[in-house]
């Protein structure tokens, strides 16, 4: 507003979005007691991987952690329940999204909307996340995801992995919410209507 000298009424922000058709229904091939994280080599993602290896893996011994992306570069773990998959192609990524039991987003720093959150939830993967991991998306704890902090993350994850009813509920509700409000088609249509109202 100040930068371009325009009225606030003529400023509209577009949220990040996804194409729901890219995320198919999860089938019967879900690998129970798996927790999935994917990320680039961005420092906040690397911090998350360190937290998974050094904290969650020991406190959640019955859960297998599947970590994909360049956030794995330079990381090492000999823990049997941590699988550092590294960079994956689209087919491998698709399989991970379709078959992982739970998604996790233990982010403690960073800015902007977290795209992986939109992808997890559009796919219908029940998610445990910190407040940083869901920034800018207006999700409701217990309805769209399970909110945790550094101290409570392991406990919340252990509880959710054994609670089929809650997993099913938040999977359905989060998928509907994300696909309705963060769908690129809807975002574009909303902007089109806004632009048509402006007096040039």
The tens place of each residue's pLDDT in the chain, 200 residues long, gives 566 666 666 655 555 555 555 555 666 789 999 999 999 999 999 999 999 999 999 999 999 999 999 999 999 999 999 999 999 999 999 899 999 999 999 999 876 667 889 889 988 999 999 999 998 888 999 999 999 999 999 999 999 999 999 999 999 999 988 887 766 566 555 556 666 666 55
Is the distance from CB of 153 to CB of 129 less than 8 angstroms?
A: no
> In angstroms, rounded to a whole number, what is the distance separating the alpha carbons of residues 77 and 13?
41
Pairing of strands 127-129, 82-86: unpaired
pLDDT at position 136 is: 83
Nearest to 23 by CA among 175, 172, 142: 175
Residue 104: helix, strand or coil by DSSP? strand
Here the tokens at position 199 are 């007096």
Here the tokens at position 26 are 């999860």
């Amino acid at each position: 507003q100040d930068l371009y000298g325009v009225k606030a009424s003529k400023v509209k922000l577009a949220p990040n979005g996804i194409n729901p058709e890219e995320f198919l229904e999860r089938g019967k091939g879900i690998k129970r007691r798996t927790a999935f994280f994917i990320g680039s080599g961005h420092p906040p993602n690397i911090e998350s991987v360190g937290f998974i290896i050094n904290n969650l893996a020991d406190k959640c011994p019955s859960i297998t952690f599947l970590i994909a992306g360049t956030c794995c570069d330079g990381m090492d773990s000999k823990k049997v329940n941590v699988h550092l998959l590294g960079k994956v192609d689209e087919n491998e990524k698709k399989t991970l999204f379709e078959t992982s039991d739970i998604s996790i987003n233990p982010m403690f720093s960073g800015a902007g909307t977290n795209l992986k959150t939109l992808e997890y939830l559009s796919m219908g993967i029940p998610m445990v996340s910190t407040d940083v991991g869901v920034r800018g998306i207006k999700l409701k704890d217990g309805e769209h995801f399970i909110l945790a902090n550094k101290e409570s993350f392991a406990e919340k994850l252990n509880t959710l992995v054994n609670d089929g009813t809650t997993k099913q509920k938040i999977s359905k509700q989060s998928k509907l919410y994300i696909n309705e409000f963060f769908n690129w088609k809807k975002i574009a249509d909303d902007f089109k209507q806004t632009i048509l109202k402006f007096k040039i």
